[in-house]
Structure 1
Amino acid sequence: MPVTAAAVPLPLFPLHTVLLPGAPLGLRVFEPRYLDLVSECGRGGGGFGICLILQGEETGAPATPAAFGVEALIEDFGSDRGGLLALRVRGGRRFRVAGVQVRDNGLLVGSVHWCDAAAAPAPRLRPEHAVMGTLLGELLEKVGGEYASANLRRLEEAEWVGWRLAELLPLSDAQRLALLQEDDPHRRLDCLLRWMDE
């Protein structure tokens, strides 16, 4: 697995959902530990990690996060109708959690290794996955929104096609987590093909 040599600290926001690379996610923030996290990100200009909760809840005592997650980069923020902080984040790099510490305020901080190689060339779809690019093109046409202006050349990129299908298809959190743990974009597409046939 291609990971960085040294682990880096990353504050974690465990959720009952899986954030995928490139995918948007809306969050409502009200617990003091997560308000502190957002302030810290604002001061430092960085992101935080989102991991699927394996045991526990989103509020209260620190939950047990999955060993793999995705960096959340804040794109926009404001207040919802109830006056709570509302964030719009987008998935960035994948990471593997090597260890976790709990701060006094209950915030989890992971010691993480980044999984994705920097500036690696985007692998192209293989012939056996061409149907996946076609399917994604049809889905994007129906979904519209931010995808209405997607660059159609990306439909030839194995990694982008895999992540967008994983985002749009009705997969379970366990399936999305399995894809996060897979480094090879072609094997991710193999998994998606197998699940679609089941």
Structure 2
Amino acid sequence: MTNPSRSRPLPLFPLPTVLVPGASLGLRIFEPRYLDLVRECGRHQSGFGICLVIDGEAGGEAGAAAAYGTEALIEDFDTGDDGLLTLRVRGARRFHARQVRVRDNGLQMADVDWCEPDPVEPLRPEHGLLANLLQTVLEQVGGEHAKAMDAHIDDAAWVGWRLAEMLPLEDAQRQQLLQVDDPHERMDRLLSLLPDA
């Protein structure tokens, strides 16, 4: 279910990866159009959209991007040893791009409908295995999500997004999960992706 938005068009950054809500991603920025994107986001205190490249090259004019993506909010930036701008972004709201235009500099701008936020709903009993799997993964890898685990391990949406982020899925599988609105249906799909025991 999407929520029509008449806000400012969202700049897109097509990538060969899927950003899910709550996940963190590091980026190196060197193309002028994406440097412009970062400046614009700074001016407007806004994010940009990350979409999976369906075909073509990442960021390239020929690269068709998936219609569903995730808003990326800039959390930190720096200059790398090579002099390139580096960003740390966090996945926020999901969106569906209705119409995409390309600026003269090659930057894609999309009119988007924002997807409804995930409801906070308890895990269903049939998804307990997924919560146990996530606990095991987080105990092994640690990090920021391990610290938040106790507060969120019974939240179906949070568990689903963390598994979508951390399991070794193909980009197409992750993209399919991104397009599912219902957190319980997302968990069902995650269960179906697990190898048979």
Query: Given that residues 135 and 149 in structure 2 are in contact (C-alpha distance below 8 angstroms), is that contact kept between their aligned partners in structure 1?
Result: no
**CA displacement at 1:150 relative to structure 2:** 1.6
Match of 1:5 in 2: 4
Distance 1:42 1:106 in 2: 19
- Scaled by the length of structure 2, the TM-score of the pair is 0.95
Ranges of 4+ aligned residues in structure 1 off by more than 6 Å: none
**CA displacement at 1:148 relative to structure 2:** 3.4
Distance 1:116 1:73 in 2: 18
Match of 1:162 in 2: 160
Tell me the matched-pair count: 195
Q: Which runs of 5+ in 1 are unaligned?
A: none
Query: Given that residues 68 and 95 in structure 1 are in contact (C-alpha distance below 8 angstroms), is that contact kept between their aligned partners in structure 2?
Result: yes
Query: Given that residues 47 and 73 in structure 2 are in contact (C-alpha distance below 8 angstroms), is that contact kept between their aligned partners in structure 1?
Result: yes
Query: Given that residues 14 and 59 in structure 2 are in contact (C-alpha distance below 8 angstroms), is that contact kept between their aligned partners in structure 1?
Result: no
Distance 1:173 1:195 in 2: 13
Query: Given that residues 4 and 114 in structure 2 are in contact (C-alpha distance below 8 angstroms), is that contact kept between their aligned partners in structure 1?
Result: no
What is the DSSP-based 3-state SS (H/G/I as helix, E as strand, rest coil) of the residue aligned with 1:75? strand
Query: Given that residues 62 and 108 in structure 1 are in contact (C-alpha distance below 8 angstroms), is that contact kept between their aligned partners in structure 2?
Result: no
- Deviation track 1:40-83 (CA, whole Å, cap 9, x = no partner) reads 00010000000000121124435211010000000000011100
Match of 1:14 in 2: 14
Match of 1:64 in 2: 64
Query: Given that residues 13 and 50 in structure 1 are in contact (C-alpha distance below 8 angstroms), is that contact kept between their aligned partners in structure 2?
Result: yes
**CA displacement at 1:143 relative to structure 2:** 0.8
- Deviation track 1:114-158 (CA, whole Å, cap 9, x = no partner) reads 0123xx640110010011111111111111122331241301000
- Backbone CA RMSD of aligned residues: 1.3
Query: Given that residues 122 and 159 in structure 1 are in contact (C-alpha distance below 8 angstroms), is that contact kept between their aligned partners in structure 2?
Result: yes
Distance 1:60 1:177 in 2: 20
Query: Given that residues 125 and 156 in structure 1 are in contact (C-alpha distance below 8 angstroms), is that contact kept between their aligned partners in structure 2?
Result: yes
- Scaled by the length of structure 1, the TM-score of the pair is 0.94
Equivalences for 1:52-131 in 2 at 5 Å? 52-117=52-117, 121-131=119-129
Distance 1:10 1:28 in 2: 20
Distance 1:62 1:29 in 2: 19
Distance 2:138 2:107 in 1: 37
Distance 1:59 1:115 in 2: 24
Distance 1:62 1:115 in 2: 27
Distance 2:17 2:149 in 1: 27
Identity within the alignment, %: 58
